A and B are shown apart, each in its own frame.
Chain A
Amino acid sequence: MDERPADGRTPQERRPDASMTLLTSMLERPLDPSYQAAADRRRAAGETPATSSRTVLVFVMMLLTGLLFAIGAQALRPKPTAAATVRDELVSRIETLQTHSTAQEATLAALSKQVRDLEDLSLQQSGSDDLTAQIKQLEVGAAAVPLRGSGLTLTIDDAASADADANAGNRPSGGFQQGRVTSGDLQIVVNGLWGAGAEAIAINGHRLSSTAAIRFAGQAIIVDFRPLSRPYVITALGDPQGMQQIFEPSFAGVYLDQLRQEYQIRSSIATSDDLTVPGDTSAKLDHAKPLSGTVGSAPSLTSTQTGSGSGTGSEGATSAPSSPASGSTPNPQETTQ
């Protein structure tokens, strides 16, 4: 290949950028110089400078290029690994089981309602309807029945910077990450709400009974043995204004404020007149004792209903006040972690 000076100078004149000839030739003459040389030769021989681009040679070359591209792409594209396949299968199994569990919970709720109705009926038939009111009150306290009323909605979410890998599948298996809501944060906030006079609290639709625990497993927050995903919506029934007034200057309110300032954890509080919290479907009859002065053979149903989480002794169990009466003494439970 004969080298032609790019700008027609003779090689004797030194260009000011002569020490950078490599870069200059790369940037100024990206086209292979041999094209120009071949064209010049053809011109000198009296032919057109360009040959046809429709020759067999060009076709074969382009065919090879296409083959190279396709083979390169297929050989080097990351293939779905066995681990990914297994992961997909596990995800689908978890989703199926979660759907199943939701359906079962609905059945359970319907059946418990039937049981309660039958209990009421049997009590009425035995001629002691004054117990019904007492049972109703105790059921509210034991979080066994859904409740509806005015209250607060407190939404807590991880910091925006922690969003990048906030998918459930990408949670790191260990280690503390700033900007993530931890179970301890939720415990403090929930206890603060109890202390502010909340009568019933649910997190992401899971009612907190007297034995429900807020714990962590890995990086996931577990409430009553069910993992939650962000954002965490805490619904607290009670006097909205009153609760807010007590909550915000309280320790939990200040703590939440600190979380926002230090770790950019997002939280918002909203009042509403019409909120519902579901009943704790895992509540079951645990303990029963006969009433003094019992009425005939009527079953004594003055009993405590507790959630299934009783006796786990796990760290950080939060306790709901057992008395449903509003205005009862605030019951901030000590939590440890």
Chain B
Amino acid sequence: MIPVLGLLAGLAIGLVIDPSVPVWLQPYLPIAVIAALDAVFGAVRAVLDGIFNDKVFVVSFLSNVIVAAFIVFLGDQLGVGAQLSTGVVVVLGVRIFSNVASIRRHLFKA
């Protein structure tokens, strides 16, 4: 419950203060959001599996976001940013769906 409150508080703060994102950072936002989603769903599944570890969560979250952003950055420098972004989204998307399926099995036994 407390993590959900944290998520809601973060959403509320972000919506209220509406910070302006520098333009050079904007290409990395979508990838960062997907990476964060992947880390969050992974953490939820770990909680349900009974093997959650907060340090692992933080590390996986940060590494996900940083690696995803780095791949996009590298892709932009090499001129294949769009393709690499697609690759990142596909890989993370597959993981998100598998984790959500596992969470669903835990919660609904279906």
Chain A residues with CB under 8 A of B49: 31, 35
Within 8 A of B (CB), among A1-45: 26-27, 30-32, 34-36, 38-39, 42
Query: CB < 8 Å: which of B18, B33, B60 contacts A68?
Result: B33
Query: CB < 8 Å: which of B3, B13, B39 contacts A53?
Result: B3
B55 CB-CB contact with A under 8 Å = yes
Do residues B40 and A57 form an inter-chain contact, with CB atoms below 8 A? no
- Tell me the smallest distance from the CB of B30 to a CB of chain A, in Å: 7
Do residues A65 and B7 form an inter-chain contact, with CB atoms below 8 A? yes
B99 CB-CB contact with A under 8 Å = yes
Do residues A51 and B52 form an inter-chain contact, with CB atoms below 8 A? yes
Do residues A75 and B56 form an inter-chain contact, with CB atoms below 8 A? no
- Tell me the smallest distance from the CB of B3 to a CB of chain A, in Å: 4
Do residues A26 and B91 form an inter-chain contact, with CB atoms below 8 A? yes
Do residues A72 and B94 form an inter-chain contact, with CB atoms below 8 A? no
- Tell me the smallest distance from the CB of A35 to a CB of chain B, in Å: 4
Closest chain A residue to B29, Cβ basis: A72
Task: Using A30-B98, A51-B53 as known contacts, say yes or no to A59 and B2 having CB atoms under 8 A apart.
Answer: yes
A60 CB-CB contact with B under 8 Å = yes
B82 CB-CB contact with A under 8 Å = no
Do residues B56 and A38 form an inter-chain contact, with CB atoms below 8 A? yes
Query: CB < 8 Å: which of B1, B3, B42, B55 contacts A38?
Result: B55
B6 CB-CB contact with A under 8 Å = yes
Within 8 A of B (CB), among A80-110: none
A337 CB-CB contact with B under 8 Å = no
Closest chain A residue to B26, Cβ basis: A75
Do residues B95 and A26 form an inter-chain contact, with CB atoms below 8 A? yes
Which residue among A26, A30, A68, A70 has the maximum number of chain B CB atoms within 10 Å of its CB? A30
Task: Using A30-B102, A61-B58 as known contacts, say yes or no to A50 and B14 having CB atoms under 8 A apart.
Answer: no
Do residues A66 and B13 form an inter-chain contact, with CB atoms below 8 A? yes
A-contact 0/1 string along B92-108, CB 8 Å cutoff: 00111011001000000
Query: CB < 8 Å: which of B6, B8, B21 contacts A60?
Result: B6
Do residues B42 and A66 form an inter-chain contact, with CB atoms below 8 A? no
Do residues A30 and B94 form an inter-chain contact, with CB atoms below 8 A? yes
A49→B7 CA distance, assembly (Å): 25
Chain A residues with CB under 8 A of B40: 62, 65
Main SS class of interface, A: helix
Do residues B53 and A35 form an inter-chain contact, with CB atoms below 8 A? yes
Do residues B6 and A59 form an inter-chain contact, with CB atoms below 8 A? yes
B73 CB-CB contact with A under 8 Å = no
Do residues A70 and B98 form an inter-chain contact, with CB atoms below 8 A? no
B79 CB-CB contact with A under 8 Å = no
Task: Using A26-B95, A53-B3, A59-B2 as known contacts, say yes or no to A66 and B10 having CB atoms under 8 A apart.
Answer: yes
A124→B67 CA distance, assembly (Å): 96
Do residues B54 and A62 form an inter-chain contact, with CB atoms below 8 A? no
Do residues A50 and B50 form an inter-chain contact, with CB atoms below 8 A? yes
Do residues B11 and A38 form an inter-chain contact, with CB atoms below 8 A? no
Do residues A62 and B6 form an inter-chain contact, with CB atoms below 8 A? yes
B47 CB-CB contact with A under 8 Å = yes
- Tell me the smallest distance from the CB of A211 to a CB of chain B, in Å: 58
Do residues B53 and A30 form an inter-chain contact, with CB atoms below 8 A? no
A57→B56 CA distance, assembly (Å): 11
Do residues B10 and A70 form an inter-chain contact, with CB atoms below 8 A? yes
Task: Using A31-B42, A58-B6, A75-B26 as known contacts, say yes or no to A70 and B53 having CB atoms under 8 A apart.
Answer: no
Do residues A61 and B61 form an inter-chain contact, with CB atoms below 8 A? yes
Name 15 interchain pairs, CB-CB below 8 A, sorted by A.
A31-B45, A31-B46, A31-B49, A34-B59, A35-B42, A35-B52, A35-B53, A49-B50, A58-B43, A63-B7, A65-B36, A68-B14, A68-B36, A74-B15, A75-B26
New A-B pairs, 6, CB < 8 Å, besides A65-B61, A76-B29: A36-B51, A57-B57, A63-B10, A65-B10, A68-B32, A70-B14
Chain A residues packing against B (C-beta within 8 Å):
26-27, 30-32, 34-36, 38-39, 42, 49-55, 57-72, 74-76
8 tightest Cβ-Cβ pairs between the two chains A and B: A66-B10, A70-B14, A62-B6, A30-B98, A39-B51, A38-B53, A66-B11, A63-B10
